[in-house]
């Protein structure tokens, strides 16, 4: 059975294959009824609009159906019940499970108790492989990923999308530039793992220093909760904000990505520059998730 749990489980070939498939779904090279009669359970124990809707959209576009449980309903279903039991039961109803859960490793556990494939749609501060695939897909639409310079900006300590993207990029000979506020730097264990995988990781004290070298700037959310008070949050947030001024003299082909939703990290004035690619990125969630759903249920 094919589960999609963590980007660490993927080799470069697997990623390329899935990205190629996503490209076919994107350009309409597929039969609309490919997942006719298939049913997926979207089990979301944590709120998410975008990820849940894009999985539902992807399933519908392939002719399949989804049943969906949101965070409020989910918490009442499982009053006192273990995730293991919930998964055992629900996997007997459907052909695949998409799971979002607040605990790290929840998707791995679910895959051990499920009789159908499990796709991880985010487990706490852990993994979110479909997001990483759509990030890669978006980059690959504009340029070959091999050997490019990618900047990761924002909360690199807790930001799971940044960790799994970095791990995936390490398979492509990418040079990684990290730019994070004090206290929100990439955990040493991840930086070590990236370097062991042969990746060059360069830490920068500020955006200005790094931005002109970059081919891709990946911005993540800096959350208010990470700071002791509003003043220190606003202070940090404003010094890491992407503005049109900052983009003076960058590479013409620079692409700015963001997993969305954004708070104040990117000035809306940046939206109308050619660098802003985050809405396109969000749209790519559908073909990428079509590829994943089809792959596990075909």
Partner 1 sequence: MTRKDPSGGLIISPIKNGTVIDHITAGEALNVLRFLGITGSTRECLSIATNVESKRMGTKDIVKVENRELCTEEVDRIALLAPHAKINIIRDYKVVEKMGVEIPEILRGVVRCPNPGCITNTNEPVASAFEVLDKGLHCLYCDWLIKDNIANHII
Q: Is 224 in the site for partner 1 (CB under 8 A)?
A: no
Q: Using the rule CB under 8 A, give the single segment among 19-27, 79-87, 215-223, 281-289 that binds partner 1.
A: 79-87
| Alpha carbon distance 111, 43 (integer Å) | 13
To the query of whether residue 100 is one of the catalytic residues in this protein, the response is yes
Footprint of partner 1 on residues 187-216 (CB under 8 A)? 189, 192
CB of 102 to partner 1, least distance (A): 8
Q: Which is nearer to partner 1, 8 or 212 (CB)?
A: 8
Q: Is 92 in the site for partner 1 (CB under 8 A)?
A: no
Six-digit token pair at 264?
A: 């104040």
To the query of whether residue 50 is one of the catalytic residues in this protein, the response is yes
The catalytic residue among 21, 128, 140, 163 is 128
| Alpha carbon distance 147, 17 (integer Å) | 19
Q: To which residue do tokens 């930086």 refer?
A: 191
CB of 193 to partner 1, least distance (A): 8
136: CB partners within 8 A, 6+ apart: 15, 19, 145, 165, 168, 169
Q: Using the rule CB under 8 A, give the single segment among 34-42, 125-133, 137-145, 243-251 that binds partner 1.
A: 125-133
SS3 of residue 117 by DSSP: coil
Q: Is 6 in the site for partner 1 (CB under 8 A)?
A: yes
Q: Is 123 in the site for partner 1 (CB under 8 A)?
A: yes
Among 41, 42, 83, 207, binds partner 1 (CB under 8 A): 83
The catalytic residue among 38, 51, 178, 277 is 51
DSSP secondary structure of 237-295? HHHT-B-TGGGTT--TT-EEE--S--SSSB-GGGGGSTTB-HHHHHHTHHHHHHHHHHH
Instruction: Report the candidate in 110, 114, 148, 144 with the shortest Cα–Cα distance to residue 127.
Output: 110
User: Could you list the active site residues?
Assistant: 50-51, 79, 100, 128
* Residue ranges that bind partner 1, judged by CB under 8 A: 6, 8, 82-84, 101-106, 108-109, 112, 123-127, 189, 192
């Amino acid at each position: 059975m094919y589960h999609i749990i963590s980007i660490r489980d993927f080799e470069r070939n697997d990623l390329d294959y899935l990205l190629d498939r996503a490209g076919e779904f994107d350009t309409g090279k597929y039969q609309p009824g490919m997942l006719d009669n298939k049913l997926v359970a979207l089990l979301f124990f944590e709120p998410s609009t975008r990820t849940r809707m894009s999985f539902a959209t992807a399933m519908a576009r392939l002719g399949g159906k989804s049943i969906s449980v949101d965070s409020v309903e989910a918490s009442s279903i499982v009053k006192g019940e273990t995730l293991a039991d919930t998964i055992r039961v629900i996997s007997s109803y459907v052909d695949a499970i998409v799971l979002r859960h607040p605990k790290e490793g929840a998707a791995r556990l679910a895959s051990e108790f499920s009789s159908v494939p499990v796709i991880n749609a985010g487990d706490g501060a852990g993994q979110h492989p479909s997001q990483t695939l759509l990030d890669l897909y978006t980059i690959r639409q504009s340029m070959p990923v091999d050997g490019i310079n990618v900047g990761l900006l924002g909360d690199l300590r807790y930001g799971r999308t940044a960790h799994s993207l970095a791990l995936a990029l390490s398979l492509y000979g990418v040079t990684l530039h990290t730019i994070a506020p004090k206290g929100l730097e990439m955990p040493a264990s991840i930086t070590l793992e990236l370097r062991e995988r042969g990746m060059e990781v360069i830490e920068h004290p500020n955006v200005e220093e790094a931005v002109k070298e970059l081919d891709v700037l990946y911005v993540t959310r800096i959350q208010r909760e990470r700071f002791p008070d509003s003043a220190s949050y606003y202070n940090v947030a404003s010094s890491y904000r992407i503005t049109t001024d900052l983009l003076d003299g960058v590479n013409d082909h620079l692409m700015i990505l963001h997993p969305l939703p954004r708070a104040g990290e990117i000035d809306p004035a940046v939206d109308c520059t050619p660098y802003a690619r985050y809405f396109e990125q969000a749209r790519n969630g559908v073909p990428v998730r079509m590829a994943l759903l089809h792959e596990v249920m075909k």
